Amino acid sequence: MAHEIKIPSVGESITSATLGTWHKNDGDYVNSGEVILTIETDKISTELETDKSGILRHSAAEGDELDIGAVVASIEEGKVPSGAGETPAKEIAPAKEVVAPVSEAETVSDDGLKVTPIARKIATEEGIDLTALSGSGIGGKITKADVVEVASKPAPVVPQAAAVSRSLEGHATNKSGGAARQTRKKMTPLRRKIATHLVNAQQEAAILSTFNEVDMTAIMELRKRVQEDFVARHGVKLGFMSFFIKAVVDALKNVPSINAQIEGDEIVENHFFDIGVAVGTEKGLMVPVVRDCDVKSFGEIEQAIVGYATKAREGTINLSDLQGGVFTLTNGGIYGSLLSTPILNPPQSGILGMHSIQQRPVALNGEVVIRPMMYLALSYDHRLVDGKEAVTFLVRLKDCLEHPDRMLVGA
């Protein structure tokens, strides 16, 4: 009897998913509860487990995009490999790797290479020569991990003659027979979602940005003074983000119109402080939400940020982690950005852009001194927030950051 495995629903707004990585080969025996597949949606990655034991049969390949509810595999129940009995999956796996033949139809290409479909897809997109790789999979098969490892390394300097000879297959070359002048690849579900989200934000809201700058001297001195004790107590470093989140909470309390959103012809004012923190990953930008920042300590906020960043990079972040924020912070400074105008994260009415800290001359008490300065950019929905309120918010934010001791005592 065959038991079908389908792509589950992972959110009301998600209609399709891409098959990321098969963790079990076609024809493998799997036990109930084992992870067999990772699927990727436009928001999160999800691992699929089987609730039946039997022989696994693939119905789709890595890289395929299928609708929610589509069948991706089946389990042939009642078929147990010889000697399996009650042996756990972890003990069966090594024996399978020794005796089970590699599916030539799915892993061997015209050029004689054993390579998984997703590995070939990534190699094509990144311009990686598969013939130069040594596969770490069964029978020398080139896997996704092999290709990603090469793609993450700096590209070596290649002589011009060699570079010309490696024009990408399937793309037009120039008239002189040189390398392709263009490459074309399909947008990932996450990238498509980001693109749609940003365009909708520009079209639906009246986005305006206002700027200020903050002297980071006090925060930097405070961090240096308490860092060792902070790490010993909380297990994470005291970063800048917890100071900014606490300052944003204070400013939102002073200017509640920014902690609100428009729904139809109504204004919905929020009385909680769940702050989104933009995290860049290899798949695109994600904005996990740190809950109840008004009652969390600096240590709890830093722990939450580190946890979300790890989950985002590993692709294990949950959809619920990305929902319900009232305000967003994005730090382009870690990439070297000096100034930018961030785009709103609907339905939120405000987003703060943080930037590089630079030593700049400033006037202080009638003298020119060098200080570590950061530009701040507040983008807001002008339909709901007036310029006076936006400026008031930034001024309060600046005051909190330049006098962090006040945040600690609630002054």
136-179 pLDDT, tens digit per residue, is 665 677 776 677 666 655 444 444 444 444 444 445 555 555 67
Q: How far apart are CA 85 and CA 80, in angstroms?
A: 7
Confidence grade of residue 324 (pLDDT, cut at 50, 70, 90): very high
Confidence grade of residue 80 (pLDDT, cut at 50, 70, 90): low
Predicted local distance difference test score (pLDDT) of residue 176: 57
Name the strands in the sheet holding 207-215, side by side, starting at the edge strand that comes first in the sequence: 207-215, 367-381, 350-364, 327-331, 275-277, 289-290
Q: Measure the CA dihedral 196/199/200/204, to 10°.
A: 180
Looking up tokens 């930018």, which residue turns up?
Answer: 340
Question: If you average pLDDT over every residue of the chain, what do you get?
Answer: 81
Domains and their CATH numbers in the chain: 2-100 (2.40.50.100), 106-155 (4.10.320.10), 190-409 (3.30.559.10)
Does the structure show a pLDDT above 80 at 99? no
Does the structure show a pLDDT above 70 at 81? no
Predicted local distance difference test score (pLDDT) of residue 190: 67
DSSP state of 76: E
306-315 pLDDT, tens digit per residue, is 999 888 877 7
Count, in order, helices (H) and strands (E) of the chain. 11, 18
The answer to whether 158 and 164 have CB atoms below 8 angstroms apart is no
Does the structure show a pLDDT above 70 at 407? yes
DSSP state of 108: B
Q: State which H helix or E strand residue 374 sits in.
A: strand 367-381
Distances, alpha carbon 187 to alpha carbons 4, 11, 191, 230, 289, in Å: 29, 21, 6, 42, 26
- Label the pairing between strands 35-40 and 45-49: antiparallel
Active centre residues (catalytic)? 382, 386
Predicted local distance difference test score (pLDDT) of residue 192: 76
pTM for this model (two decimals): 0.62
Does the structure show a pLDDT above 60 at 115? yes
End-to-end Cα, the chain, rounded Å: 69
DSSP state of 67: E
Predicted local distance difference test score (pLDDT) of residue 410: 61
Q: Is the dihedral of CA 130, 134, 140, 144 positive or negative?
A: negative
Q: Where are the beta strands (DSSP E) in 222-366?
A: 260-263, 266-269, 275-277, 279-281, 284-286, 289-290, 327-331, 350-364
Predicted local distance difference test score (pLDDT) of residue 87: 42
pLDDT > 90 fraction of the chain, expressed in percent and rounded: 41
Whether the link from the prior residue into 347 is cis, omega within 30° of 0, is yes
Confidence grade of residue 250 (pLDDT, cut at 50, 70, 90): very high
Predicted local distance difference test score (pLDDT) of residue 277: 95
Q: Which of 62-66, 77-81, 164-168, 202-206 has the lowest mean pLDDT?
A: 164-168
Please tell me whether residue 267 adopts helix, strand or coil conformation: strand
